[in-house]
Structure 1
């Protein structure tokens, strides 16, 4: 019995190292497997975090683009609002100016009616206010000139002085002088013009010269002259009365056009040039030279 137990103990001792080794191996394999799984999970978690970070960066970039787009849109809307307000203000200012000009022209029309009462009744003058932006007064040839002549008569000079004084009082308006003749040739003689073109142009120029003088004294930049000869008749030229009606001088009063912006810049007064700075006296030895003894 003793021997059998000893043999059994010896066998157990012989297998004990191997059992311990097997346990160590099993533990090592289990720990390695767990470590491998932990590393894999950590790698997957890291990759997930990187993906989330990339998506977040893309979202931030998208939001930044959206914000920039909204800022540009708001700026554009603000500019449009500012431009619309400025445009409405400019339109309102133009409307006020147009109303004030209309009041001036209406006052001028009433004055002209009073001054031309006899000529209007005799059919030697006509007033036309059908255009809301202009006032036109027409004067018959016999009120200003002799037939075929381009020199104003004494009565013509007097009438233009009275009419011109009224037109000159309407500020901000230009006066366009247009002369019209009929289709019949003018008679040759002293002071006559060769053709209807020359006659109408000379008459328009004579009227402008009269308006430049006293009592009208209209500024030259407000005046213009044009001759239309017989090509813009008021009525058909089928009778002596109608031809007489067509031989006329029209003075049109209308607002002066605004000059271009480039011209306005040149008209602005420029400051006088700066005076050159005076140079300080140079310091140094006296220029006097001592003579030799």
Structure 2
């Protein structure tokens, strides 16, 4: 009997290390799962913090750009007021001009974000013309094949992004002007096409894309002009400069005020004439 109990004790002692080892393995597995979950949570949190930091940096950059732009607008307004001297200023007109400048400034910031890649690569240029207009220039290679007037799929997509921003600017028109160089490359079936014809056709194609694109710009807000090679921005003395001159300009300006329609003048009523007295005999 004693020998049986001793045998069972020995067997229990023999299994004890294995039981302990199993417990250690189980704890290690659970710890590994917890560690993996913790690591995944830390990575997700880190990614979230990086995204928030990038968004904060973008917002700070946007606010700085807005501050610089408003300072520039303020200097221009001060110069205008100094030049005006003692001329009376219409408060209503001044408020309207300030509101228009704010709309164009908002459009400039939105275009900068919408065309970030194109602006960085040097395929687009964006600037302001004093307090009167906002100018966006797009390179030929961004919109057209050499010598052709039909928009490329990429050009249609870029104009869709730009048109959505421009369409949101109330009380403003978009003037489209296309420019070529002095040596247009005629496409097949268009032999003899001049720079005038090519630039005019391109301007019309851009206007059509802005009207039919996501922005749905109203026709009365659009105009198209072809300038051929006669308004270069740099001398056309090298392939690089000629490429720079082949461009399309979108000018955002306030809509012209509608002329006041004079009220029809009332025709003067003739005075009654005194009747002639006839003597009757």
- Quickly name the TM-score band, shorter chain normalised: 0.5 to 0.7
The yes-or-no answer on 1:94 pairing with 2:66 is no
Q: Deviations over 1:120-153 (max 9, x none)?
A: 1111000011321100000000000000000000
Aligned mates of 1:108, 1:182 — CA distance in 2: 30
Separation in structure 1 between the aligned mates of residue 254 and residue 263 of structure 2, nearest angstrom:
21
Q: Deviations over 1:32-80 (max 9, x none)?
A: xxxxxxxxxxxxxxxxxxxxxxxxxxxxxxxxxxxxxxxxxxxxxxxxx
Partner secondary structure for residue 129 of structure 2: coil
Cα distance between partner residues in 1 of 2:192 and 2:210: 22
Could you say which residue in structure 1 is the equivalent of 2:141?
A: 142
C-alpha separation in 1, matches of 2:232 and 2:192: 20
Could you say which residue in structure 2 is the equivalent of 1:239? Answer: 238
Q: TM-score, normalised by structure 1?
A: 0.58
Shift of 1:186: 2.0
Q: Which residue of 2 aligns with 1:178?
A: 177
User: Is the 2:148–2:186 contact (alpha carbons within 8 Å) kept by the matching residues of 1?
Assistant: no
Q: Which runs of 4+ in 1 moved over 4 A?
A: none
Match of 1:217 in 2: 216
Question: How many aligned residue pairs are there?
Answer: 178
1:150–1:192: 8 Å Cα contact kept in structure 2?
no
Matched position secondary structure for 1:259: coil
Conserved in 2, the CA contact under 8 Å of 1:186 and 1:193? no
Residue of structure 1 equivalent to 2:226: 227
Unaligned segments of structure 1, at least 5 residues? 1-86, 267-293
User: TM-score, normalised on structure 2?
Assistant: 0.60
CA distance in 2, matches of 1:122, 1:166: 20
- Report Cα offsets for 1:176-214 as digits up to 9, x if no partner: 000000011323414677000000000000000011113
Provide the secondary structure at the position in 1 that maps to 2:98: helix
Over aligned residues, Cα RMSD in angstroms? 1.9
- Match of 1:261, SS state, is coil
Distance 1:249 1:112 in 2: 16
The answer as to whether partners of 1:178 and 1:204 remain within 8 angstroms in 2 is: yes
Q: What is the SS of the residue equivalent to 2:258?
A: coil
Aligned 8 A contact 1:177 1:223 in 2: yes
In structure 1, the residue corresponding to 2:178 is in which secondary structure?
Answer: strand
Q: Find the counterpart in structure 2 of residue 69 from structure 1.
A: none
